[in-house]
Chain A
Amino acid sequence: MNNDKEHQFELLVRQHKRTIYTVCYMFSHDKAEIDDLFQEILIRLWNGFDHYEGRSTAQTWIYRVALNTAINQDKKERRRIETVPLTVDIDPYEADDPSTHQIRELYDRISRLDLIDRSLILLWLEGISYDEIGAIIGITPNNVGVRLMRIKEKLVKMSNNE
Chain B
Amino acid sequence: MKGIIMENQENNMSELDQLKAQYETLKQQFDQQEIVNDRLIKSATQTDVDFFAKYRKTALIAYPILAVLGFAYYAYLGQWAFAISFFLLLAVMIVVEMWLTRNTRRQVMENADLLTLSKNMQKLKTGYAIYTTLILIAGLMFVTAVTLNKIVSLRLYGPQIKEAIWSLGFAMVLMLGFAILAYRSFVGHCNNVLRQIDAMNSDHPVRNNRPFWCFLCAVTLLCTISGLLFYNAIDSVVYTRADNDLSSEGKLGIWEIYADTNVFEKDVALCMEQWQQGDSIVLMTGKSGMVTKDIEETTGLSCNEGKGQLVKLYALKETTSEGPVISSAVLDGKPIIKRIEHGPYRNRKPERLGVFVNMTPEASQLWLDFTQKAEESEAPCRAALCLDGMVYQEWAVVGAISTGAFFVTSIWTKDEVEAFCKRLIKQ
Contact = CB atoms under 8 A, between A and B. Distances in A.
A3 B19 CA distance: 41
B22 interface: yes
B201 A9 contact: no
A125 B19 CA distance: 8
Contacts of A44: 50, 109
B110 interface: yes
18 contacts: A9-B41, A17-B36, A64-B111, A67-B114, A74-B51, A77-B49, A84-B37, A88-B33, A99-B28, A102-B25, A106-B19, A106-B25, A114-B199, A116-B200, A125-B23, A126-B23, A138-B113, A156-B15
Contacts of A74: 51, 189, 192
Interface string A142-154: 0000000000110
Interface residues of B, number: 53
Given A45-B44, A115-B200, 6 more contacts: A64-B113, A87-B37, A87-B40, A99-B29, A106-B23, A121-B19
A61 interface: yes
B293 interface: no
Contacts of A90: 29, 33
Given A40-B49, A156-B12, A48 B40 contact: no
A64 B109 CA distance: 10
Nearest to B113: A138
B49 A43 contact: yes
Interface string A1-44: 00000100110011001100110010000000000001110111
Interface string A83-105: 01011111010000001101101
Given A102-B22, A114-B200, A42 B41 contact: yes
B115 interface: yes
Nearest to B193: A72
Query: What are the nearest 10 A-B pairs in CB distance?
Result: A138-B115, A138-B113, A115-B200, A42-B44, A106-B22, A116-B200, A87-B34, A125-B23, A17-B35, A18-B30
Contacts of B16: 152, 155
A25 B110 CA distance: 22
B25 A84 contact: no
B35 A21 contact: yes
A138 B111 contact: no
A39 B29 contact: no
Interface string A51-62: 110001000010
Contact of B11 (A81, A99, A156): A156
Interface string B104-119: 0010111111111110
Interface string A65-84: 10110011110011011101
B47 interface: yes
Q: Is the interface of B mostly helix, strand, loop or mixed?
A: helix
Q: Is the interface of A mostly helix, strand, loop or mixed?
A: helix
Given A48-B110, A77-B51, A22 B26 contact: yes
Contacts of B23: 106, 125-126
A22 B24 CA distance: 12
Contacts of A45: 44
Nearest to A6: B45
Nearest to B54: A77
Contacts of B35: 17-18, 21, 38, 86-88
Interface of B: 8, 11-12, 15-16, 19-23, 25-31, 33-37, 39-41, 43-45, 47-51, 106, 108-118, 189, 192-193, 196-197, 199-201
B48 to A, nearest CB: 7
Given A46-B45, A138-B116, A18 B37 contact: no
A99 B199 CA distance: 33
A118 to B, nearest CB: 8
A22 B31 CA distance: 10
A137 B36 contact: no
Contacts of A39: 40, 43-44
A13 B15 contact: no
Given A18-B35, A71-B197, A156-B8, A56 B30 contact: no
B12 A152 contact: yes
Contacts of B27: 18, 22
Nearest to A10: B41
Contacts of B50: 43-44, 47
A49 to B, nearest CB: 9
Contacts of B192: 72, 74
Q: Tell me which of A74, A100, A117, A135 has the highest count of chain B C-beta atoms within 10 A of its own C-beta.
A: A74
B41 A13 contact: yes
A52 B19 contact: no
Q: Tell me which of B21, B25, B37, B48 has the highest count of chain A C-beta atoms within 10 A of its own C-beta.
A: B25
Contacts of B15: 152, 155-156, 159
A99 B48 CA distance: 37
A35 to B, nearest CB: 9
Nearest to B35: A17
